[in-house]
Structure 1
């Protein structure tokens, strides 16, 4: 799912492709189902557990640019190319962060619901197909933020807040914030949220993120929040970046890696394969929709 190169409402799609490691060509797969009239969605989140991919939410865009957050949750069997509809999200969100704990619980942290951000942490249990509410996110509620989890500690950074104006239209402002949430080992719904120092004091939007052992990695993204066409909410085209932030959850320090010139943005997940960080698609320089798979060397040192 996502946005094709035309970058308008008609370019929003629900298409799926898969690449078997070792093969050279991507193969089309069954499109993602939807309970909504419009099938294509933007800003969905996805995580994998074993041979399944869990897909959450996203939003549709119509001709009049109306946006609706989808409540849909699907489990996709990668090997069988089949979907199973799961319990809908209690509060539909898009542009959220999805994190897996104990290969059972999936946490959706903050995100956008129809007309504004929420501070909820919604937890899906893959064994019981049920939802629960965890301790709410204590940072500024945001969309387009980034996050990772290592052990029972999750780190959430940045994103975009909705800021009201005096007798004027609201604004979308980037927020430079990082929080660490420690999940209670006896109660997975209890999270102790604490502020973290920010690695650069400059917020990023829609970075790619994952974990590698005891490190949480956030990569690329933009310093100017933007609409789905890549143009900033301030009317200025959003620039892509390539710096990486690496946080050690045990030593509690950040390391900032300089950019490699492979600038990109509009990501969410970040893959790790054979000591490489891998991004698929996204947007590049001049907001061009990418058809590239970019692999960057990475060592856990």
Structure 2
């Protein structure tokens, strides 16, 4: 059995942007490392026979070349602290920038992109329904628009939203809604402002908060990728899950970020918490579009939905970028893998709780 690798009880007091915001503490711990370092991987958590499990699907291995775009999948028993390799998606095609969500007993894995030997990339439309009880996959209806580097969010333990993202040659503003009960897709109110990829977001109740990402700018034949600073609030109409009221909100503290992790937190205050990522966007190997190495940012912050204010939550003990999501079990949240300050693919698993 793998043992607990390190315990770092780093507790940060929140610096609130409003006197009405509650005091929050965040505590970090490193738990059993992944057997294989992985980055830009889809992550989720599930309950199996009363036990809590973490999951990672696909992503980038340490070599960071097209050969290292992986179909690797593994599960982690939180109680026994053991990682185990599990079957990859049935087509065994390695993908980057996929996303995964746990809904009503199943994990749904969306899209991503493949990388060919000549460097060409292709956004994939497939959606896989994974049963954590049997480790079996079932292919369900494809996305309406193939996207990677999109934000996925779950509403009402039924609907999964894919917000903006990259489609082959351009970013798109589409908001796609997958109904897990009917195995059917619908189109929701489009994402406002520039279409982006590599942005981040979370949801509490029917309220989404999303931030940043990268947008494509094109002048003639010249294409460039730039950070797109901005934060957005989306409120889902409970009577119609395709109807979203979008509004721009105050920007979060610090620089705009790319591929940071985000998650909705209900307690001790309803907020969406963001962490990691970088202010120097890149494709997949950690070297920026500007040819300079990218480094992760350590700051953690959250948007308090009740007060409408951002709060600063200290710093990550081990900053990482290239994240696709946060896995939640009970009151604990996990960052699985990622890329560190030396652009190395990581096998660390970082756990945090808020009080």
Q: What TM-score do you get using the length of structure 2 for normalisation?
A: 0.81
Q: Which residue matches 2:146?
A: 92
For 1:209-245, what per-residue CA distance to the aligned partner results, in whole angstroms no more than 9, with x for missing partners? Answer: 1111121111111111111000001111001122112
2:193 maps to 1:136: no
| Aligned pair partner of 2:201 in 143, 147, 171 | 147
Q: Give distance in 1, aligned partners of 2:271 and 2:329.
A: 15
Query: What does 1:68-217 correspond to in 2, within 5 Å?
Result: 68-165=122-219, 167-200=220-253, 202-213=255-266, 214-217=270-273
Q: Give distance in 2, aligned partners of 1:102 and 1:272.
A: 16
| Aligned pair partner of 2:75 in 4, 13, 18 | 18
2:153 and 2:202 in contact (8 A); partners too: yes
2:333 and 2:353 in contact (8 A); partners too: yes
How far does residue 271 in structure 1 lie from its aligned partner after superposition? Answer: 2.7
1:10 counterpart SS class: helix
Count of paired positions: 295
2:109 maps to 1:55: yes
Q: Give distance in 1, aligned partners of 2:104 and 2:298.
A: 30
Q: Give distance in 2, aligned partners of 1:11 and 1:128.
A: 36
How far does residue 168 in structure 1 lie from its aligned partner after superposition? Answer: 4.5
How far does residue 163 in structure 1 lie from its aligned partner after superposition? Answer: 0.6
Q: Go from structure 1 to structure 2 and tell me whether the alpha carbon gap of 1:151 and 1:60 turns closer, same or farther (over 3 Å shift).
A: same
Q: Which residue matches 2:11?
A: none
How far does residue 202 in structure 1 lie from its aligned partner after superposition? Answer: 1.7
Unaligned runs of 5+ in 2: 1-57
1:43 and 1:58 in contact (8 A); partners too: yes
Unaligned runs of 5+ in 1: none
Q: Give distance in 2, aligned partners of 1:177 and 1:146.
A: 11
For 1:180-209, what per-residue CA distance to the aligned partner results, in whole angstroms no more than 9, with x for missing partners? Answer: 011112111111100010112521111111
Runs of 4+ in structure 1 off by over 6 angstroms are: none
Q: Which residue matches 2:12?
A: none
1:225 counterpart SS class: coil
Query: What does 1:286-301 correspond to in 2, within 5 Å?
Result: 286-299=342-355
Q: Give distance in 2, aligned partners of 1:123 and 1:260.
A: 33
1:192 counterpart SS class: strand
Q: Give distance in 2, aligned partners of 1:217 and 1:22.
A: 25
